[in-house]
Amino acid sequence: MKEANHDVLDRGSLPALLMNRARLASDRQLVVNAATGLVAAVSIAILKPPLWITLFALACSLGAFGLWGILDREVAEVKPSSKRALLAARGLVAVTGTLAAILFGVSLFFSLLGTWIS
């Protein structure tokens, strides 16, 4: 599996690497990722620990990864009449996961940067 990851990374495509990882994961792993991400995101939003925005974004990214993998498998197995809705849902989950990953990176950067006093 590591050789496949290196092949994808050599071409410089992180989305392709993530799609490959989701497609190679077992159903159980995808369900655990989606459920863990959802439970962690809700728990973090309620408890609001230090760096809660960063942790919330990370949990949302994990949940989106699992949910995208589940939807990707379902797209291949449904009738063509239902395929459009699943493709739209899969795209929405991909956009949500991407935005959560960007929020994670930005919020982590600013939390590490700290307060600037001029």
CA distance 71 to 63: 12
The pTM score is 0.85
CA distance 52 to 118: 26
Residues 70-88: tens digit of each pLDDT: 999 999 888 888 899 999 9
Residues 93-117: tens digit of each pLDDT: 999 999 999 999 999 999 998 887 7
Per-residue pLDDT at 8 exceeds 60: no
Report the pLDDT value the prediction gives residue 81, as an integer from 0 to 100. 82
CA distance 111 to 97: 21
